[in-house]
Structures are given as C-alpha cells and as structure tokens.
Structure 1
Amino acid sequence: MSKQQEKLDQAARAAWMYYVANNTQHEIADHLGISRQMAQRLVAYAVEQGLVRVSVQHEITDCLALAEQMKARFGLSLCRVVPAGGESEGLRRMLAVAGAEVMTQFLQSEAPIVVNLGSGRTLKAVIDELAEIDRPQHRIVSMVGAIATDGASNRYDVALRTAEKTGSKYFMLPAPLIADSAEDCRQWCSHRVYRVVSELSAHADVTFIGIGSVGPGCPLEEDGFLSKEEIGQLVSEGAAGEIIGHAVNHEGHPLSSPITDRVTSLQLPTAADRPVIAFAGGASKHSALNAALRGRWLSGLVTDEESARQALALTG
C-alpha cells in the first residue's frame, strides 16, 4: 500500500469516528495513537479530499414553498431551492450539493442512458460533489467545444470528469466553443465526428447545464472566449445571458448576431421533450436565469432563495 493510500485510509477512519460516531478529536487521537493536532489534520484532509459528503435531511419550509411556486409559474417538473448565500463560494457549494443529489437520481439508472452536459463553474462544482458510481452502460456527451480559443483544453468542460466518475463512455465535441468566423463555424460543424456527436446529443435522455451571465467580466470574457468589445456588442444587442454559449435576450429568445453565428455548441432539446435541468444561482445570474425561465428552456432547476424570489417577483 502506498503512503498516499495509507493517509487516505487513516483520514477516512478519522472522518468516520468524527462525523458518524461523534467521537471528539481527543478520542480519535487516543484510539489511533496519534496527537490531537494530527487527528484534527486528518479530519480536515478527509474533507479536502472529498471523503466526507454532507446531507441535510430536513428541507427548509420557505425553500420548499418557493420551489413549488417556481414549478407552477414556469412549468418546471423539478425544482430545488437552497438557502440564500449571496455571491459566496458557500452558495456555489450548496448548489453543488443539491445539484449532485438531483444528478445522481438519473445516473443511478441501471438502464443505459445518454447524458448531455454543458459547462461552467457551477456545473463543475456539481460534478465535483458527485460520488463515484459504476455505470459503464451510460454515454456522456459534451455539448460545448472542448477546445479553448488558444488551443488549450476547455477547463470547464465537465463531461470527461463525469465519465471518469461513472466509468461511462465520453463523447467530445471536436470544436472550439466560439469559432473565428461564421464560415469557420460551419466548417467545424460539418466535420463527420461533430455530426456523430450532435446526433447522439439530440437523443439524450437528460441534459444538465449551467446558465451564464453576459456583461463586463463575465466568464466568456474572463476565460478568453470573447473580447471585452465583443461582450459589449452582445449587451448592446440585448443579450441577457447565455446557455452553453448561445446568447439569449431578456425574453429568452435566441439572439441573432454576427457573434452568435460563430458559436459551435449543440442545440438544447425542447424542455417539454426530455429533461433539461439547470444549476444556477447568485445575483450575477438573475438576468440570465430569468431569460432562461421566460424562454421555457428548462424543465428542472436548482437555484437559491434570492434568485427564486426575484424571478417570481419579476414575472408577477
């Protein structure tokens, strides 16, 4: 056994004693024959390595009520609302934990399924929270280009990580998220492998996506997919947000623009056809989330209290 494996085993043992058996750090130290400081570090290491997953069984009444209102107002078949958390990493973690629970319901299927995945920070956090589950019969499809503008791998393409956690087959979209020109986009999208992946995606059993803001400093600009000037152009043309790279206006309709003509991402299935579930929250996502809800792109949503309240108030 390697030293790394020994450390993980020791950390897991400490985590079981602390979180399940309710032992104190002093008791853990005595039982394992280590110092209290080492026991404390082992418990922290277990959390850091993802060995500990928190599940809160009692759902907050206000959150349950908001979820039901969101389902009724926007025709959602599934909605989870987590407590408000501002713009903190804590909010993203809450969304990730709730999102992983929702995603697991589908991934646990014994029957083979095709799973579409978008990209983005929140969706990546959801995947990080997923427990490993052996499902080699599933097929995982990336709906966004796996190549960044500079030729590097898109670090927020989460499909490969999901395939690794499930042992599923992974289908990569062989294109950059945004091509250099509309003609270049047509060439990427006419590639044989692109068409094969597109056809598989069109028959997916479920789709999981994030929702992106469009504005100064948004992820599309921060990650180098579009310039500051191009983001400004999209805003001036009425962009409220983006869904897997496709810009939508405030009513949720696809935005027609020379920039959107360069997006290679696959098309979302109709929400009424098969489940399309989004994970999004925080004030910076309000405009984009409202647009996605108005456009009826979603059949499921995991969001936070503040986002749900403002969506309901804005459409009331």
Structure 2
Amino acid sequence: MSKHNKKLDQAARAAWMYYVAGETQHDIADKLGVSRQVAQRLVALATEQGLVSVNISHPVAECMTLAEQLKTRFGLSICQVVPSVGLDSAAIHAMIAVAGAEVMAQTLKQTDPQIIAVGSGRTLRATIDELPEFDRPQHSCVSLIGAIASDGSCTRYDVPLWMAEKTQGRYFILPAPLYADSADDRALWCNHRIYRTVTEKAAQADVMFLGVGHVDKGCPLNVDGFITNQQVEELKAQQVVGEMLGHFIGAQGERVPSELDSRLTSVNITPQNERRNIIAFSGGKEKHRAITAALKGGWIKGLVTDEESAIAALASA
C-alpha cells in the first residue's frame, strides 16, 4: 500500500470512529496510537478528501480484505466488514447498522416489486432505522418470526413493520407466538389459513434479512421472555452457541435439536440451504461464536459484520 493510500485508510478508520461510532478525537488518538493533533488532522483529511458524506465512501483496506476472505472461505455472495478494533459493543452495532442499511437499500431501491422477508432483533431494527425512506409501495415486507412472547407481550423489535413504513409497502405479520404452549397448540397456529398464506409468501421472498443471535443469560431471546434462564442453561449444556429465527446452532454450524423445536412457529430455514438470498447482520464480541457457527453451517449467503468477528471466524475456520 502506498504512503498516500495508507494515510487515507487511516483517515477512513478515524472517520468511522468519529462520525458513526461517536468517538471523541481523544478516544481516536488513544485507539489509533497517535497524538490528538494527528487524530484531528485525520478526521479533517477525511472530510477534505471527500471520504465523508452520508456514508464513509473510502472503505478500510483491512476490512475489505477480511470481507473478501470471508466470501471466499464461506461461499458468500455479499459481505461487508466494518472497523471494530478498540471499540465497544454500542459503537460496533452503530457501524453495522450504517453499513447494513447500504446493503438493504440495494434491494429496496429497485422498482420491480420485491418480497422482502425479515427476522427480528436489535441489530436489524437499528439497521432499518438508518435507511432513508423509499417510495416503493409495490414492495411487500413479510415477517419470518412471531413477535409474541408466552405472556402475550410483543417484542419492541418487530422490525418488518418498520421496514414497511420505510417503503410504504404492505406488511404481512406472522400470526403466532415464537413458541406455542405445546405441540398441539403449535399445530393450531400453523394450520391457520393466514399463517399458511404468510409462510408461503415468505418462501417466495427475493431476499431474507436476518440477525444471528447468541445464547446466554441476558441474550435477547432470554430478556424478551421467549426462553427462560433454565432453558438457556439446558441449551448451553447441549453446546448451543447461536440461533437464527429460534433455530439453535452448535459450534460447527449444525442444527441442534431441543425440546423447544416442537413448539417453534417461525419460518423454517436449514443449514447448507440452497437459497442465495439470506443475508445476516450481526457483530460484537458476544456474537463471535454464533456468527462463526452460522458461516460454518452454510446458514447464510451474505453477511454484514465487524472486523473482530470476521477475524474470529477466519481463525476458527
């Protein structure tokens, strides 16, 4: 890399930290190992060189390399990696949301009618919040997962509705709790005409946007009331490291059966699937093992993540 390109690369990294993660110039100086004056000049250089607009237009070279390595190693069709070294979880998620919105926009801006199937979770919600509004009433947003907990409450991260509001398109909700009370109860939910109509529409989706969750006490499934502390411990005892749409995944990417399966109502997805349009948005230290497992198992064909998660996945592979 030439001296000029290396300086631009460092300026782009500083711009990500300053404009997206909200880091101070003092923080940037500490994390890049430079003086505060140099950090200030790097941020100024990013602006002067036109690297900063609505998005950071000059990607960090190391992140681009990691993205290409992930695509090659795991057969991905789409991959974006954002800087994360030295940053906390909130900053990383903010960066993934910005980069993820660019990926989503590629589908949303199309004029041909699109069926967009969407999971749930904080990362997807933050990503959709970063989207501009599109006048695309011809698009349809379809939920892949029920947003109702066992006590009847609904998660605040019912993100397909938020996407439908961004596009002014139609929204198809999956009318069921994530986990039914029993196998018989699940059969009642899943045999309903509206449920079958929505899942059939999801199966025709042009693209699926999902999150990759980790499984531990305090994880979103646990905090939002979908699984209990005891169930978390039972899943961990089975070596579960992650989940997608309530499907539990082991460290090597295998689908791990659990007693919850007979009650799960979300749209079915499988490892080593043939679909080329499942794109995941996930990052942060707590997600390293889950993201690696999703990649190893071939659950996803696209990924927006952070550089430390990318490094962990490549090292594990």
TM over 0.5: yes
- What is the deviation of 1:237? 1.6
**Aligned-partner Cα distance in 2 for 1:274–1:314:** 23
For 1:311, the equivalent position in structure 2 comes to 313
- What is the deviation of 1:177? 1.1
For 2:144, the equivalent position in structure 1 comes to 143
The answer as to 2:131 corresponding to 1:161 is no
Kept in 1: contact 2:89–2:285 (CA 8 A) = no
Kept in 1: contact 2:121–2:158 (CA 8 A) = yes
**Aligned-partner Cα distance in 1 for 2:129–2:198:** 24
The aligned runs of 1:86-165 (5 Å cut-off) are: 86-165=87-166
Kept in 1: contact 2:155–2:224 (CA 8 A) = no
**RMSD of aligned C-alpha atoms?**
1.7
Scaled by the length of structure 1, the TM-score of the pair is 0.81
For 1:69, the equivalent position in structure 2 comes to 69
Scaled by the length of structure 2, the TM-score of the pair is 0.80
- What is the deviation of 1:271? 4.9
Number of equivalences: 265
**Aligned-partner Cα distance in 2 for 1:142–1:79:** 23
- What is the deviation of 1:134? 0.8
Kept in 2: contact 1:95–1:304 (CA 8 A) = yes
Paired residue type of 1:75: G
For 2:84, the equivalent position in structure 1 comes to 84
Kept in 2: contact 1:115–1:138 (CA 8 A) = yes
**Aligned-partner Cα distance in 1 for 2:147–2:217:** 24
- What is the deviation of 1:255? 1.6
For 1:283, the equivalent position in structure 2 comes to 285
For 1:292, the equivalent position in structure 2 comes to 294
For 1:31, the equivalent position in structure 2 comes to none
Kept in 2: contact 1:171–1:197 (CA 8 A) = yes
The secondary structure found in structure 1 opposite 2:176 is strand
Paired residue type of 1:211: V
For 1:238, the equivalent position in structure 2 comes to 239
**Aligned-partner Cα distance in 2 for 1:196–1:265:** 13
For 2:227, the equivalent position in structure 1 comes to 226
For 2:199, the equivalent position in structure 1 comes to 198
Paired residue type of 2:308: E
Kept in 1: contact 2:120–2:211 (CA 8 A) = yes
For 1:14, the equivalent position in structure 2 comes to none
The secondary structure found in structure 2 opposite 1:146 is coil
- What is the deviation of 1:261? 2.1
- What is the deviation of 1:152? 2.1
**Could you give the per-residue CA deviations for residues 243-278 of structure 1, whole angstroms, max 9, x where no partner exists?**
011111112222211122221110237754331100
For 2:38, the equivalent position in structure 1 comes to none
User: Which of these two proteins has the greater Rg computed from alpha carbons?
Assistant: 1
Paired residue type of 1:136: P
- What is the deviation of 1:175? 0.4
The secondary structure found in structure 1 opposite 2:175 is strand
For 1:261, the equivalent position in structure 2 comes to 262
**Aligned-partner Cα distance in 2 for 1:112–1:264:** 27
Paired residue type of 1:141: V
Q: Which moved more, 1:169-178 or 1:150-159?
A: 150-159
**Aligned-partner Cα distance in 1 for 2:256–2:274:** 21
Kept in 2: contact 1:145–1:154 (CA 8 A) = no
The answer as to 2:188 corresponding to 1:187 is yes
**Aligned-partner Cα distance in 1 for 2:161–2:175:** 13
